[in-house]
Amino acid sequence: MVVKIDQDLCGHIDNCPMNGLCVKICEQGALIEEDNDVKIISEKCDDCNLCIQNCPNQAISKA
């Protein structure tokens, strides 16, 4: 399944209580910071679910 980010819930890196933890913990480099937003490079995602489990805003899910 493809990981998706609800940008309304995400609140951007600047407003993240964990300062973009999802980007920092993604071992595959599938989540990147671009213009203060979190972007997904889906072909790099290995479905580990770390980003989903650790998002403080519950903004990341599977489509």
Domain boundaries of the chain, sorted by first residue:
3-62
What mean pLDDT comes out for the span 2-12? 90
Q: Which tens digit of pLDDT belongs to each residue from 25-58?
A: 999 999 999 999 999 999 999 999 999 999 999 9
**In CATH, 3-62 is 3.30.70.20:** yes
Query: 9-18 burial string, b = 16+ CB within 10 Å, else e?
Result: ebbebeebee
Q: By three-state DSSP, how is residue 50 classified?
A: helix
Residue 42: the pLDDT is 92
Whether the per-residue pLDDT at 63 is higher than 80: the answer is: no
Q: In degrees rounded to 5, what are phi and psi of residue 22?
A: -60, -40
